[in-house]
Amino acid sequence: MAKDGSQGMSALLEPIALANRSTITLAEDIRADNETLSPVRHNDVMPAIIRAEKFCLYYGVKAGVKDINMDIFPQSVTAIIGPSGCGKSTFLRSINRMNDLIPNVRSEGTLYVNGVNVYDGRINLVNLRQQVGMVFQKPNPFPKSIYDNVAYGPRLQGIRGGRLDDMVETCLKDAAIWEEVKDLLGKSALALSGGQQQRLCIARALATRPKVLLMDEPCSALDPIATSKIEELIVGLKNAYTIVIVTHNMQQAARISDCTAFFCMGELIEYDATNIIFTKPSRKQTEDYVTGRFS
């Protein structure tokens, strides 16, 4: 039985949770595991919410990511950086199994979310994705009204009526967009600006009440002002959610993240507290990349 106390998740994934021998590993154990990189060395009792063990993902025969061992901790922002094609997004999308949409995808190893191996055959994808929200690179609100966009997730869970209205309002407030759209809820989401659309997408992702929020370069299509708003929002959301963000912008990673993972060629090169990665990385490759000497 899960020991992490995340009753919601374990309730949803009861059979799978039961099937796992040791679903929660303390930071102490992770270090003892030696292979698993963990930046949180000072807090031995903090349980990881996402844990990859020798995780590999192949597109046909080509490896997208290989041999990832990584712990991601709750209520923190974890940035994943690395050159293009290094497998950052692949790893991120592996967490909520969005890679399943691509034909001929195959995985090896295990990836635990809240103590449940999401690559277990019996996993309920609907539940997983409600627990692990995702924000995409390009703002992709549905061509529906603002209200309907936010209400999409809750409606799937069967929430209706006044409770839904409250939820939409809360999520829009959490995503710091309520003031801008409160009078336009019936208007099409596509009429919003790019930055607003992205915050709306965040609100939409929050509306399923996830534990984890995955963000795949959420600011790459936005201007600096919109970017700074999103960044503020991410920092604000940290207290309630676990955020994993893929970014090309190293300043952004430095500004908002607690831990940073550096990926290269499908491998996790270094994973540590952000200030360590950006000031005294232990690997030459990481240093070259963060200082811009990477070629």
Q: Which residues bind another protein (CB under 8 A)?
A: 96, 98, 101, 103, 126-130, 133-134, 136, 138, 140-144, 152-153, 156-157, 187-191, 201, 204-205, 207-208
Provide the minimum distance between the beta carbon of 10 and another protein in the complex, in angstroms, as a whole number.
Answer: 17
Identity of the residue, 77 or 98, whose beta carbon is nearer to another protein in the bound complex: 98
Identity of the residue, 100 or 232, whose beta carbon is nearer to another protein in the bound complex: 100
Provide the minimum distance between the beta carbon of 126 and another protein in the complex, in angstroms, as a whole number.
Answer: 5
Distance CA 85, CA 91 (A): 11
Six-digit token string for 15: 């059979």
Identity of the residue, 144 or 283, whose beta carbon is nearer to another protein in the bound complex: 144
Q: Nearest 5 degrees, angle CA 256-CA 259-CA 260? A: 90
Distance CA 213, CA 262 (A): 19
With contact defined as beta carbons under 8 Å apart, do 104 and 59 qualify? yes
Identity of the residue, 190 or 273, whose beta carbon is nearer to another protein in the bound complex: 190
Identity of the residue, 83 or 194, whose beta carbon is nearer to another protein in the bound complex: 194
Identity of the residue, 163 or 284, whose beta carbon is nearer to another protein in the bound complex: 163
Provide the minimum distance between the beta carbon of 111 and another protein in the complex, in angstroms, as a whole number.
Answer: 16
From 168, 189, 163, select the one nearest 178 (Cα to Cα). Answer: 168
Identity of the residue, 144 or 173, whose beta carbon is nearer to another protein in the bound complex: 144
| Amino acid at position 258, single letter | D
Complete DSSP assignment for 214-264:
EEESTTTTS-HHHHHHHHHHHHHHTTTSEEEEE-S-HHHHHHH-SEEEEEE
With contact defined as beta carbons under 8 Å apart, do 277 and 269 qualify? no
Provide the minimum distance between the beta carbon of 90 and another protein in the complex, in angstroms, as a whole number.
Answer: 14
Provide the minimum distance between the beta carbon of 142 and another protein in the complex, in angstroms, as a whole number.
Answer: 6
Going by the DSSP 8-state scheme, the letter that residue 55 receives in this structure is: E
Provide the minimum distance between the beta carbon of 253 and another protein in the complex, in angstroms, as a whole number.
Answer: 23
Distance CA 197, CA 187 (A): 12
Distance CA 12, CA 118 (A): 13
Provide the minimum distance between the beta carbon of 246 and another protein in the complex, in angstroms, as a whole number.
Answer: 14
Identity of the residue, 136 or 271, whose beta carbon is nearer to another protein in the bound complex: 136
Distance CA 212, CA 147 (A): 23
Provide the minimum distance between the beta carbon of 100 and another protein in the complex, in angstroms, as a whole number.
Answer: 9
Q: Nearest 5 degrees, angle CA 132-CA 136-CA 138? A: 165
Complete DSSP assignment for 102-116:
STTEEEEEEEEETTE
